[in-house]
Amino acid sequence: MKTAAPIFIRSLTADAIKLKRTPILWIALLGGLFVTGLVFLIHYFSVNEILKPDTNPWIFYCNFGMTFVSLLLVVPFVVLVSSSVMFPEHRAESAKYLYSLPLRKSQFYFSKLVMVLGIIALTYLIFFTGHLLSGWLLGFLRPQYGFHEYAPQTGHFAKILFHSYLSVLGVAGLHYWLSVRWKNFIIPIGIGLCGYIISVILSMVQRWDMAVYFPYAYPGMVGNELGMGDSAGLIPIGWFNNVELFSVGFCVLFAMIGFIEESNRNVK
């Protein structure tokens, strides 16, 4: 009898093959490069406004990109990816076939969740690589910044991106559950859009006491602290903070709720 681990890996492989026929991987690539290109263009055309002599330009460049990712991109992107991953299954109405196989529902359910988290991690990796490469290119095109005179802060940049990744897990878990629950992926995306707008409003009025319980606001709160130096109501807990731990907890909670519902659902 086959063990659970190889079967789970085969489920992941099957999901990866299915994704090749969808635009999700292209969305991950474009999502990772969009902010990189935007920050690059801002620096290229705004030298006089941004230039700070005798300072390491990599620190500001990476923090600037981090702020854009946290406030503009990451929540809509995660909502789109998490809400769309089940759409091919719903469109093909393949749930009945999948659940007729002699395999556990958990292997189908959690393999897709891992795939969602992997796609988000891939986007962060693309952004990390592209941002550093664009900094080197900017050093050639705009040598007055002095990018080639300083070492890139790769460790610092990787650290803040990892914390940002943790902060989006709650939204990813929530919208994966919603995408499994509803066949119409417009519903999860609509909920995500409303959540994103509310998070922006909470950020504008600085109601961090309310935002700390609202997963959509977590990336912006973490981005404010790590990218701009604003604590935004975060409480350090060891190497992490309360918002990141809440995000991980919400991801686990929503994943388990979705799995329980899916286990008890009769596929028709």
Per-residue pLDDT tens digits for 87-143: 666 565 555 555 555 566 677 788 888 888 999 999 999 999 999 999 999 989 998
196, 105 Cβ separation under 8 angstroms: no
Location of structure tokens 């992997």: 118
- Give a yes or no: residue 233 inside a domain: yes
Residue 244 pLDDT greater than 70, yes or no: yes
- Give a yes or no: residue 268 inside a domain: no
- AA identity, residue 104: R
- Give a yes or no: residue 117 inside a domain: yes
| Alpha carbons 57 and 256: distance in angstroms, whole number | 44
| Alpha carbons 33 and 128: distance in angstroms, whole number | 9
- Give a yes or no: residue 78 inside a domain: yes
Location of structure tokens 């935007």: 38
- Give a yes or no: residue 173 inside a domain: yes
134, 36 Cβ separation under 8 angstroms: yes
Range of the domain at 31: 4-263
| Alpha carbons 33 and 264: distance in angstroms, whole number | 41
- Give a yes or no: residue 24 inside a domain: yes
Residue 1 pLDDT greater than 50, yes or no: no
| Alpha carbons 143 and 202: distance in angstroms, whole number | 39
| Global pTM value | 0.87
Number of domain units in the chain:
1
Residues 207-231 pLDDT 10s:
777 888 899 999 888 877 655 545 5
- Give a yes or no: residue 44 inside a domain: yes
Q: Could you tell me the pLDDT band of residue 4, with boundaries at 50, 70 and 90? A: low
